[in-house]
Every structure is written in structure tokens, then in C-alpha cells.
Chains A and B, each alone.
Chain A
């Protein structure tokens, strides 16, 4: 397991003077939580989000309205501190917004709002909305001949309980939505678990699926970039069970 990452090749927004650095995320998160002691491990999505924004997603602060950008949809809107920290680290907004987290005048709520968060693709909080929206986003891109942009949606293993996800999974596989990618952060928090595994829910519907260590950046990167011609891709990232 390694937490080192390559310096990304794509350009940086002027507002982001320093090179984004995974080691700098705890400081950014602490600006929201006021608690420096909370290790990154307290944030189940942190490593996967980092690898996505640092090495996989083709989107920059200058390209948030570019029709050809990659889209990342945070469906699991609970606990968005890691998301905000990664967006700030990559210059989508200034870190000076972070201490206001959850306050009346802040654009950064305990659930994100796409009309308030610079770089945010959807508002979320109510579970089970992101994956159907991601399906539609891929359909909308495809209908305009935009077959290059990739759409990523992050859901949680407990969020997968919501039936709307299964409507989307069952449709996207047979529809062959290759541009669609679902990242499932599995911290074993689903009340009834997923006997037979989470990945099987996707593969039985015709998706490609990989299950990896959600703290291993190289394993995440390899899974995120694995070819999946003609099929959508699901990556199940396992992290420590929710305490």
C-alpha cells in the first residue's frame, strides 16, 4: 500500500498556488472540523476522491462549464468534508471558505448544493439520487455526440440500499453505458450487508466491476483506469468498517 501519487499533468488554476498534496488534506479538513486529530482514515471517501481528482478526472477549475469535461457526482452527500478539501486543494475554490462550513453565509453545507459549491456537479443529501442522474448525464452526453467525457458517481454501501440505484444499475448495463462509472465506498455500513458482495450486483447487470482496497492509491488508480469496453464500470473501494 502506498499513499504517494504522481504529480498530475493537467494545468492548475491560478488560485491554487501550491501543488495539491494528499498530505495537506488533514489540515484542510481541520479547517472545517476544528479537529486536527481526525486522521484521514476518519473520512471513508478521502483516498478515492484524491486519486480521482489528482489522476483520473479531466476537469479543472477553468473547465467546470466545459461540455467535454469529466463529471464527478457526489451522490453520498453525507460527510462532504473530504470532498470540499479535495476541491479546495485542486483550486476549485479558496480554502478560506472552509472554516465557514455549515454556516448561514457559507456555500459549503453539510450536504453539497451544486448551485453553491464551485466545481460541484450535483446537490445531494437524500440518498439514491446520484446514480440515476449520472445515467441521464451519460445519455445526454451521448445524445450530443460527446462520447469522450466520463461520468463518475460516488455512492456508499448503505446508500446502495435505496432502490433507485438498482433501477439505474439494471438499466445502465444492458444499455452499455461505457461512459458511466460508479465508485462504491464500502465501509460495511449497510444494515443488512450485501451477501454475495456488492460487485455482483453490478456484474449480474452487465457491468464491469473491480473490488479494491479503498486506501491503496495505486490499486484505486488501476481500477479506475481499467478498460471496460461497451460496459459501465463499478469500483468497490473497501475501507475500515464504520465504527
Chain B
């Protein structure tokens, strides 16, 4: 199975053949993978070198000139390091573009904290007008990427090595997808957290919603699900900073007495290397950790 990042490279390379307005802007990361596309489209596959302020600014400039830019590097260097370029060069200038990150929260734990970006979605969430896709499978990444490229708006696509075993039919326009229905509460699983959530809630009388597009947040879908359970108790499990969407879930339930628990990556820096599995366990995001906290919250 290819990774989401592999699929991004193959899909974007094909789209470059089909869509003359598309441009891919890189800062060395994934440049090897895009080498054939760069040979075929030297004016539309741009590698600016290890220069992330320029990466985002130049992508925005291409959008101002009428192109549809796809701007790509690791999440920490795409959203966090050049955050003001994201805020101003796309948002304030009022142009669209697609930011595609790799690396996620801890795709390379042995690489340490400098290459971890658990705060990327929360940071982007301070800005207006960004759609945020968090695919849970390479097939979903392809579908969401195609959708993002075909649009005109500002889109963030968060790719990770963490993935579910099976793809589900997703689209950028879709709301949260019911995967299980139950009576005692609702769990929203975001992207690659789905398999862990399904394992953690096995045998429990809970509704599970699957979310691959978290901004815009499917408030109506969460409200609908929570409205038919015995209590409007909602747990949202995200593969990035815990609580990133807790406020959005609370707003969705504002007309009901409700409780919301946001699970995800903890704020404290672990200062550990190791494997993704070890980091999931450390943050309580493995099935056992999830089950303990979900059942505790729901008093099951």
C-alpha cells in the first residue's frame, strides 16, 4: 500500500497533466517524488529550496497571477514556521490555494519534536475561510485532494502515515459519516483515529461519526447524532492537539444541555523518540487508552 504522501505525489502529478492552472510549489520536501512531473511541467512544478516563507508567499503570488497552487512540505514548516505568510499572503490577499502537509503529529517520532506538528490544525483554526481535510486513508487523501484542486478556496490537506485499514467514500463537501449508531453517546473520530475509535468502542452502545473534513465543522451532523442519544454527550477524537474541535462541538450543541470531551495529542512535550505506536499510547490514543477515557466520561 502506498502512503498518503505517495498518493499525493502520484495524484498531483497526474492532475498537472490534466489541469493547466495547477502548480505545485515545493521546498525540497518530496522534490524527488515530483521529479518526473517537474521534467514534464518545468514551469508548474517549482522547488524554491529550503525557504518556507518564500514557499508560501510564492504560492500566493501564483494564485494572484491566476494559478491554482498546491503548496507542500512537512506540517511544521508549512503552517507553523511561515504562519504569517499563510495568514496574510493567502487570507488577507483574498486568494485561494491548497496547502498539503506531510508528517502529521508524529509520523517520524525518532526525528523528535522539531518534526512534530500536533498544533497545526488549531493554529490554522485561528484563521477564517480555510477548509481542513484530514484523510484517514490514501484513497481518501486522493479524493479530498482532487476535490481541493478543483475548487477555488483555501484548503489544508493533512496527510499522515497514520491510517485506517480501509478507505471510506468521502468528499470535501460531505458531512460527518455515521459509522455506528447507539443510544448512550456520540464519538466523532477524525481521519486516522477511526480504527482506534472503533476498536475502543467495540460492544458499547455508542454512535460513531467519521470526519475527514473538520473545517467546516459538521455542526448539523453532530447536533443530529447527539439529539437522538439519551444524553448529548459527545467525545471528539482528533489525531492532533486535544480539544482542537471541542469549541466547535460545543457550538453545535448550544441548544442542548451537553457535555463535550476532546481527545487528541497532549499539549506537553513528551521529549521521547521511538515509534508512532508508543506515542499513541503515551497520549492515550491507543484503543485501550481511548476506551478508558470514553467509558469514564460517559460513565459506562
Contacts of A146 in B (CB 8 A): 65
Q: Are A135 and B67 in contact (CB under 8 A)?
A: no
Q: Are B64 and A136 in contact (CB under 8 A)?
A: yes
Contacts of B25 in A (CB 8 A): 136
Q: Mark B38-66, 1 if CB is under 8 A from A, else 0.
A: 00000110101101011011111111111
Q: Are A164 and B23 in contact (CB under 8 A)?
A: no
B85 interfacial by beta-carbon distance below 8 Å? yes
Contacts of A144 in B (CB 8 A): 20, 65-67
Report how far A123 CA is from B65 CA in the complex, Å: 15
Nearest chain B CB to A32's CB is how many angstroms away? Answer: 22
Contact of A129 among B20, B49, B57, B65 (CB under 8 A): B57
Contacts of A131 in B (CB 8 A): 57
Q: Are A171 and B49 in contact (CB under 8 A)?
A: yes
Q: Are B54 and A135 in contact (CB under 8 A)?
A: yes
Q: Are B89 and A133 in contact (CB under 8 A)?
A: yes
Report how far A170 CA is from B49 CA in the complex, Å: 10
B88 interfacial by beta-carbon distance below 8 Å? yes
Q: Are B84 and A140 in contact (CB under 8 A)?
A: no
Q: Are B67 and A114 in contact (CB under 8 A)?
A: no
B274 interfacial by beta-carbon distance below 8 Å? no
B94 interfacial by beta-carbon distance below 8 Å? yes
Q: Are A136 and B62 in contact (CB under 8 A)?
A: yes
Q: Are A132 and B94 in contact (CB under 8 A)?
A: no
Q: Are A123 and B93 in contact (CB under 8 A)?
A: yes
Closest residue of chain A to B67 (Cβ to Cβ) is A140
A34 interfacial by beta-carbon distance below 8 Å? no
* With A123-B92, A133-B93 as contacts: A143 and B44 at CB distance below 8 Å: yes
Nearest chain B CB to A55's CB is how many angstroms away? Answer: 24
| Chain B, 126-172, CB within 8 A of any chain A CB | none
Contacts of A137 in B (CB 8 A): 61-62, 64-65
Closest residue of chain B to A142 (Cβ to Cβ) is B43
A233 interfacial by beta-carbon distance below 8 Å? no
Contacts of B44 in A (CB 8 A): 143
Q: Are A139 and B53 in contact (CB under 8 A)?
A: no
Q: Are B66 and A136 in contact (CB under 8 A)?
A: no
Known: A139-B65, A171-B54. 14 other contacts (CB 8 A): A122-B93, A123-B93, A129-B89, A133-B57, A135-B54, A137-B62, A139-B46, A140-B61, A140-B64, A143-B65, A167-B53, A170-B51, A171-B51, A171-B58
Interface residues of A, Cβ cutoff 8 Å to B:
67, 113-115, 121-123, 126, 128-129, 131-144, 146, 163-164, 167-168, 170-171
Contacts A/B (CB < 8 Å), 19 sampled? A115-B94, A121-B64, A126-B88, A129-B57, A132-B54, A132-B85, A133-B57, A135-B58, A136-B25, A136-B57, A136-B58, A136-B63, A138-B65, A143-B23, A143-B43, A144-B65, A144-B66, A168-B58, A171-B54
